[in-house]
Amino acid sequence: METNRFETFFDAIIAIIITVLVLKIPQPATPTLAGVLELHTIYIAYLISFMILYNIWYANHNLFQLVDNINNTCVWIYGIMTFFISLLPYFTIWLANNLYSIPAETMFGVIFIITHILYTLATREVYKSNPYNKSLQEQNYDSRINNLPMIVLIIGFILTYTVYRPGIYICCLISIILWILIGRIVRRTNNGN
């Protein structure tokens, strides 16, 4: 499949999910700064979900500048990932409204983990489906460094189930920041070659 059509489709889906996500944020109870600050957990949960979606979009944008075609396996992996990221608005608000709920924390973390795994599989499949693409193969896609966000998420699960209920929430924030920083470091390293 040509990546132009796929990119357009995927970009539209991410834009719709972000729109739904922001529409799920309730208005403050009072039109004051205190009313706005009461919703801080919702804003942080929104920020985490927005950064997940934006990072996927940005990483895909950079990746698809290097390739013209992807195979059907890659399209299916992205399709499954689309299903899971479309659940982000629901689980984001559930978590934000129930910050100390283990089921809400767990589902938010599970969505993040599944998204991270599917994104990693999709990226590997793009590399595999373009073995003769010299500019793509020059990119250093080191899977070990890309696993750091997953390790942080696992720590979040351990924290949530042992000593600190919002552990997944906090570790999701740390994990997405790590995911973005790793992407920037990898791009900067590759552009320096």
The total number of structural domains that make up the chain: 1
Percent of the chain with pLDDT over 70: 97
Q: How far apart are CA 193 and CA 190, in angstroms?
A: 5
Residue 117's nearest CA partner among 38, 179, 47, 63 is 179
Q: What is the pLDDT of residues 82-116, one digit of tens each?
A: 999 999 999 999 999 999 999 999 999 999 999 99
Expressed as residue numbers, the domain containing 12 is 3-192
Q: What is the pLDDT of residues 13-53, one digit of tens each?
A: 999 999 999 999 999 999 999 999 999 999 999 999 999 99
Percent of the chain with pLDDT over 90: 75
Which whole-number Å values give the CA distances from 66 to 32, 57, 98, 138, in the listed order?
48, 15, 42, 10
Average pLDDT value for residue range 153-177: 95
- Tell me which range, 58-62, 66-70, 76-80, is most confidently predicted by mean pLDDT: 76-80
